[in-house]
């Protein structure tokens, strides 16, 4: 004889344990997730192995005993209900399979089932008809689902996959709207995350008034990394399980790379050992994983560095430093991947001038000078004294043909750090292009003061001196070009083309003819010669 059950809060579709053959279950009341009227009776079947496995995994991460069974049924999605004193979850197998496909993540199935489990473990009255109470039940079950999925390792986006699969936006008489339900899942997920973090961060802690804590605080205030490491050594000797001391000691071992006197003693391997001890006590700390990733990167162990950065991001998708570290890792071999990570850094930490600068750096390398300039502008809006951003912006302006703007940037960079500034030859070429040959000569003079054997500086200075009528001095510069280069033909062509460009076609032809004597098919020389004539 079929069981008579009282239908109640149908929400979403899934699975659990129930033995027995096919049975016809009359349903007397309730609603499903889509707020449609439920069927009056359902055929039920034994739950699938997948359903049993997921339920088992869910029940492992909470302390309450299972008080329900699950059966497959010919319902539209899922039903949480009771029969007599027994609680049930009924689910549609077809719905489950399509649901996983549409959501694009296995977590969709978990989220739906966790929601149904939440109704039962919260002992909701499934015969309730008051709409306000029904909606409260739904949000409580959503919050429960978010917490359960966090404990199973789901991200917030994965925990919300179940709700996001449905297109429903408005609320019904029994269910709140989509936005409210997504927020309930997020609240449960975040609360579970904070509880876990509090519990984890207490591992390896010490009393505030302990001697090892005092040594740790002294180490934090110490600017000399070696002295700080000595203090942390002593703290760890007093308490071998002092987690924070290992993390800080690892940072200081890497910190030595920034000190001129200690750079050669940078201890990446020792830092990795310290971070690993710390992570054994606090395995879900994205900061420690990111720091260890940087140390691996310092040793050239890119695969291990990437694994740590990826792990940190999985733990906290809003941890900007992990994206920044991974961007550094990708800079040389995958500019597109680096750009994507830098976009995340800029989104999460908009005031990070370095993220904008490196976006500009990559775009500059791609030849996308307009976009590079825009990125440098964002960096400089945050840090007006960012020398590298000003300097590379000048180069981008030069290649984009904005010569006056490039000169202004070179001047600004020189004013920011005259000792570091070496862009004289580039600024000189901008002056030269604008017809300001005296200013150009002054910059080429500075280049030759720094680099006395620069063939290009002699070449460009010779051209500007020719335009200024200083023929003898120009010839001396051209002679020096060939003292410092083996590219005789190329240099002759460049001199000839520049002289033609700056209004001295007759002088330019002399150089071009010399080049064509040695290389008759030189396309650039032929083109410049045609323009000269």
| DSSP secondary structure letters along 387-428 | HHHHHHHHHHHHHTT-HHHHHHHHHHHHHH-TTT---HHHHH
What burial letters (b/e) apply to 353-373, b meaning 16+ CB within 10 Å? bbbbbbbbbbbbeeebbebbb
Instruction: Characterize the bridge pairing of strands 23-26 and 6-7.
Output: unpaired
What burial letters (b/e) apply to 477-495, b meaning 16+ CB within 10 Å? bbebbeebbeeebebbbbb
Quick one: which of 280, 199, 197, 200 has its CA closest to 246?
Answer: 280
Write the burial class of residue 45 (CB in 10 Å: 0-12 exposed, 13-18 middle, 19+ buried): middle
Taken in order of first residue, the domains within the chain and their CATH numbers are 6-201 (no CATH), 204-283 (1.25.40), 422-482 (1.25.40.10), 486-533 (no CATH)
Beta carbons of 295 and 268 less than 8 angstroms apart: yes
pTM over 0.85: no
Give the number of other CB atoms < 10 A from CB of residue 243.
23
pLDDT (tens digit, 0 to 9) for every residue of the chain, 533 residues total?
A: 344 444 444 433 333 333 456 777 766 554 455 555 455 677 888 888 887 788 888 888 887 888 888 888 887 777 778 877 788 888 888 877 776 676 666 788 788 888 888 888 888 887 788 889 888 988 998 999 999 898 888 888 889 988 887 655 677 778 888 889 999 999 999 998 888 777 666 777 888 899 999 999 999 999 999 999 999 999 999 999 999 999 999 999 999 998 878 778 899 999 999 999 999 999 889 999 999 999 999 999 999 999 999 999 998 999 999 999 999 999 988 999 999 999 999 999 999 999 999 999 999 999 999 999 999 999 999 999 999 999 999 999 999 999 999 999 999 999 999 999 999 999 999 999 999 999 999 999 999 999 999 999 999 999 999 999 999 999 999 999 999 888 888 999 999 999 999 999 999 999 999 999 999 999 999 999 998 87
Rounded Cα–Cα distance for residues 464 and 202 (Å): 71
Rounded Cα–Cα distance for residues 418 and 415 (Å): 6
Beta carbons of 235 and 246 less than 8 angstroms apart: no
Quick one: which of 163, 177, 244, 170 has its CA closest to 207?
Answer: 244
- Residues paired with 87 in a beta bridge: 68, 82
């Amino acid at each position: 004889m079929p069981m008579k059950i009282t239908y109640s809060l149908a929400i979403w579709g899934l699975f659990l344990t129930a033995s027995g053959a096919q049975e016809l279950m009359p349903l007397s009341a309730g609603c499903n997730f889509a707020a449609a009227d439920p069927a009056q009776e359902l055929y039920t079947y034994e739950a699938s192995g997948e359903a049993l496995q997921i339920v088992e995994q869910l029940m492992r991460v909470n302390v309450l005993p299972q008080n329900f069974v699950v059966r497959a049924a010919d319902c539209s999605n899922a039903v949480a209900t009771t029969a007599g004193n027994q609680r049930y979850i009924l689910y549609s197998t077809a719905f489950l399979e399509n649901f996983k496909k549409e959501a694009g993540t296995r977590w969709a199935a978990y989220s739906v089932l966790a929601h149904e489990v939440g109704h039962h473990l919260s002992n909701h009255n499934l015969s309730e008809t008051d709409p306000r109470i029904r909606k409260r039940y739904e949000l409580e079950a959503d919050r429960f689902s978010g917490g359960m999925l966090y404990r199973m390792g789901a991200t917030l986006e994965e925990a919300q996959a179940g709700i996001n699969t449905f297109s429903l936006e408005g609320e019904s008489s029994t269910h709140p709207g989509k936005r409210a339900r997504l927020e309930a899942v997020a609240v449960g997920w975040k609360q579970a995350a904070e509880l876990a973090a509090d519990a984890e961060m207490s591992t390896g802690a010490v009393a505030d008034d302990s001697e090892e804590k005092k040594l740790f605080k002294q180490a934090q205030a110490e600017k000399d990394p070696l002295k700080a490491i000595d203090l942390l050594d002593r703290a760890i000797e007093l308490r071998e399980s002092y987690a924070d001391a290992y993390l800080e000691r690892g940072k200081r071992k890497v910190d030595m790379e920034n000190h001129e006197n200690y750079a050669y003693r940078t201890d990446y391997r020792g830092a990795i050992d310290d971070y690993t001890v710390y992570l054994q006590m606090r395995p879900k700390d994205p900061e420690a994983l990111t720091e260890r990733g940087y140390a691996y990167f310092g040793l050239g162990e890119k695969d291990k560095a990437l694994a740590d950065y990826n792990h940190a991001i999985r733990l906290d998708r809003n941890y900007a430093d992990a994206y920044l570290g991974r961007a550094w890792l990708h800079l040389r071999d995958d500019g597109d991947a680096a750009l994507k990570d830098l976009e995340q850094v800029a989104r999460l930490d908009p005031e990070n001038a370095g993220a904008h600068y490196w976006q500009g750096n990559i775009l500059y390398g791609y030849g996308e000078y307009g976009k590079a300039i825009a990125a440098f502008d964002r960096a400089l809006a945050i840090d007006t004294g960012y020398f590298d951003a000003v300097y590379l912006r000048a180069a981008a302006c030069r290649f984009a043909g904005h010569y006056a703007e490039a000169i202004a940037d070179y001047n600004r960079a020189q004013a920011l750090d005259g000792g570091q500034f070496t862009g004289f030859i580039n600024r000189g070429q901008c002056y030269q292009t604008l017809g300001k040959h005296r200013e150009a000569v002054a910059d080429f003079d500075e280049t030759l003061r720094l680099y006395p054997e620069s063939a290009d500086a002699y070449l460009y200075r010779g051209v500007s001196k020719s335009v200024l009528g200083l023929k003898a001095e120009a010839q001396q510069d051209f002679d020096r070009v060939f003292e410092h280069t083996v590219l005789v033909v190329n240099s002759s062509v460049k001199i000839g083309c520049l002289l033609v460009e700056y209004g001295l076609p007759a002088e330019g032809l002399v150089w071009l003819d010399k080049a064509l004597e040695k290389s008759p098919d030189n396309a650039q020389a032929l083109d410049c010669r045609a323009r000269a004539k």
